[in-house]
Structure 1
Amino acid sequence: MLLFTQKQLPDLAFKTAVKKPIPIQCAQIMEPFEVETIEGTMKGKAGDWLMVGVTGELYVCDNAIFNKSYELKNQESLLGKGRSNDK
């Protein structure tokens, strides 16, 4: 099994890719919060974003990363308040 670490970029033939412009839903949360995700419980800080992914999964996005990665669009939310994922 290959192991890649953060200490050194592996000598591979990397290609350039650009993330597809897929709209997602998000809300900035102005107090500390927790989200149950598919990878366990994530903690968000005041000012971080609660994101709804392309398959409806919830996750946290750090505010600094959000500002580098996303641009807010001026449109109404596609999700209603109090949305439930219970099935």
Structure 2
Amino acid sequence: MKFRKKPVVVEAFCFKGADSEINAPDWFAQALQNEKAILDRALKDGHAHVYGCTIDTLEGKMHARIGDYIIRGVNGELYPCKPDTFRKTYEAVEVRGGMIN
């Protein structure tokens, strides 16, 4: 038997490191505040640099690297997705006259 995934609309954004703290959607900023997502930092040349993010998912802790997408699922759950998989699986949709990026 074969099955087709039901079409669902999710929210997502491309994780850009420290810039994500400033330009993140409200739901990701809230996840950072609630420690459901934590920015991974490393010391480089005496300065802390963000190189990724650890996310509490339904399957446990998962890591996103810069350039990965972070998706909020239909029940508000968060999970990371590699860019190539994201592009194969998702496309932007029009919602009430705007675009979801």
Q: TM-score range by the shorter chain?
A: 0.5 to 0.7
Partner of 2:43: none
User: What CA RMSD, in Å, does the superposition of the two structures yield over aligned residues?
Assistant: 1.6
TM-score (norm 1): 0.63
Within 5 Å, give how 1:4-83 maps onto structure 2: 15-31=1-17, 32-74=52-94, 75=98
Higher share in helix: 2
Report % sequence identity. Answer: 32
User: Alignment length, in residue pairs?
Assistant: 63
Runs (5+) with no aligned partner, structure 2: 18-51
Question: Which amino acid counterpart does residue 26 of structure 1 have in structure 2?
Answer: A
- Deviation, 1:28, is 0.8
Give the greater-gyration-radius structure (CA). 1
Structure 1: which 4+ aligned runs deviate by more than 2 Å? 73-77
Query: Highest relative contact order (Cα 8 Å, sep 6+), 1 or 2?
Result: 2
8 A contact 2:93–2:99 mirrored in 1: no
CA distance in 1 between partners of 2:91 and 2:78 (Å): 19
